[in-house]
Amino acid sequence: MAGSRRWLPGALPRASGATGVAVLIGLALGLTPGSAQGAAPPHALLLHLLQEEVVDTREGGRILVRNPAPGRGGGPEEWRLVEELRLGEVDGAGPEVFGNVHDVAVDEKGHIYVLDYGSKEVRVFDREGRHLRNMARNGEGPGEFRYSEWGAGMRIIWQSPNRLWIGDRWQQLSFDSLGNELSRSGQAFGPGFRAAASMFDGEVLAQGRVVAADAAGFVYQEISVFAAESAEVSVNHTYGVRLPVFPEHPDPPRDSLLLDRRVTTSTRQPTQEGGGVLQVGGIIRSSVPRRVWGFGQGGTAWLADRAVHRFHEVTFSGDTVRTVELGNPPPPPPDDSDESKYRPRIADLEVSPEGWLWVRRHQEDLAEDPAWDLFDNCGLYRGEVSTSTRLGTPRHGSSEPDPMDLGPGGMVHGIARDALHVSYVLRLRLESATGARVFRETCSS
């Protein structure tokens, strides 16, 4: 162990309310109560004083943050999601009547881009919810996108200063905020992103899509590649790929990171019929998903096994720079362990612009309110938050929650669905019970 720092609660009592918090912080820093007024509270320092975390620096510089398990009363802070805006109508003919929303993205002006697969277009609204325009309509011409019949895997991602990515696992386009096409790659309903196939020796590239972007000019793709081990067994590897935006970088380097591995087993048998080969009988079965991941603004990825609350921040060169734990998590089950005994605790993981982790809890009953565990950019557990808005309710026929757009200052945009599967777009604000907002903390380690 290269170094260790332990933060103890000491004799300080818990504070309630903004005034008590400010006074305790002032006393801890050696300030008079008056001098602490009006200053932005260093919440990370207060948490260190009020609860016990262990921050270790391991050999090689990896930081290990151990958070104590939350008590029955919840985490160290109370949080709430306050609804600010709701777009969507049950019936009518206006632009607020959505067919089937698949994703939402937001730009720096607060303009909201809604990917409505039901209408096969992207609808744009201003910060107050007024409709501005439609773009990326269905078609094959300039400024159009060829929507598949099933819409699987479709995403839209905003990249500063003026680029909206829209794509599925076969094709990827980008537009400016007015709907003018900027780039196009892949092909509809066929193999896309073959230019990157040389990255993965011995595997056949099948699918890829942009799932994140940063202000430094990089996009992050999820690329799935398949390798047949036998006539019955194939392996699907999912890689995260970080690359500069083309054509600004005509010969871009590609940094890749293995995210997940799943095995597909088929007992179907080929048979000759009418001069062709058909697969008949039997079943096709894929192994259960065991990994979640998210991409940060600093060129790193966060990875976790769904069964344990242990999160690794990893660079695209494969170095683990930070590990965050909640409670005393056991080692994750081996990939070849009995799937019938695998118990996922985590449904999804997303990273805010400040570097906060939003860890969505696995729900056996989708009628329950969704809940997230929150970790700040230092890796400290800040508490939990839930909402009754049905945010991220899986689409009909899917078991995965819809993605959210996490904006600065705790702003959240996402999709909610009612019991009739009518889609709504929500804007919510994360704040503590005392009204404090999310910001990037100064870490002590």
The pLDDT value given to residue 408: 95
Please give the mean pLDDT across all residues of the chain. Answer: 80
Q: Are 340 and 416 part of one and the same domain?
A: yes
In a domain, 151, yes or no: no
358 and 433 both lie in a single domain: yes
Helix (H/G/I), strand (E/B), else coil: 424: strand
The answer to whether residues 8 and 81 belong to one domain is: no
Does residue 276 carry a pLDDT above 60?
no
Residue 305 lies in a domain: yes
pLDDT at res. 22: 30
Dist. CA 414–CA 412, nearest whole Å = 7
- Taking residues 198-206, report their average pLDDT: 54
Binning pLDDT at 50, 70 and 90, where does residue 193 land?
very low
Residues 341 and 352 placed together within one structural domain of the fold: yes
Decide: 220 and 244 in contact? Cβ < 8 Å: no
Mean pLDDT of 241-251: 70
Sequence-separated (6 or more) residues with CB below 8 Å from residue 300: 313, 314, 315, 316, 321
Whether residue 150 has pLDDT greater than 80: no
Rounded Cα gap, residues 234 and 236, in angstroms: 7
Residue 81 is assigned to a structural domain of this protein: yes
Q: What is the mean pLDDT of residues 180-197?
A: 61
Provide the whole-model pTM. 0.82
| 30 and 72 both lie in a single domain | no
For 398, the domain range is 57-87+288-445
Q: Is residue 248 part of a domain?
A: no
Per-residue pLDDT of 309-346, as tens digits, reads 999 999 998 899 999 999 999 999 998 888 889 999 99
pLDDT tens-digit map of 68-123: 998 876 778 899 999 999 999 988 889 999 989 999 999 999 999 999 999 999 99
Distances (CA, A) of 190 to 186, 193, 198, 207, 436: 8, 10, 18, 9, 48
Does 51 fall in a domain?
yes
Shared-domain flag, residues 16 and 51: yes
Q: Are 71 and 23 members of one domain?
A: no
pLDDT higher than 90, residue 155: yes
Quick one: 330 and 399 in the same domain?
yes
Answer yes or no: is 28 within a domain: yes
pLDDT confidence of 3, banded at 50, 70, 90? very low
Q: Per the domain annotation, does 209 fall within a domain?
A: no
Domain end position, chosen among 38, 56, 74: 56
How many domains does the chain divide into?
2
pLDDT for 18 beyond 50: no
Question: Residue 185: inside a domain, yes or no?
Answer: no
What CA–CA distance (Å, rounded) separates 313 from 292? 12
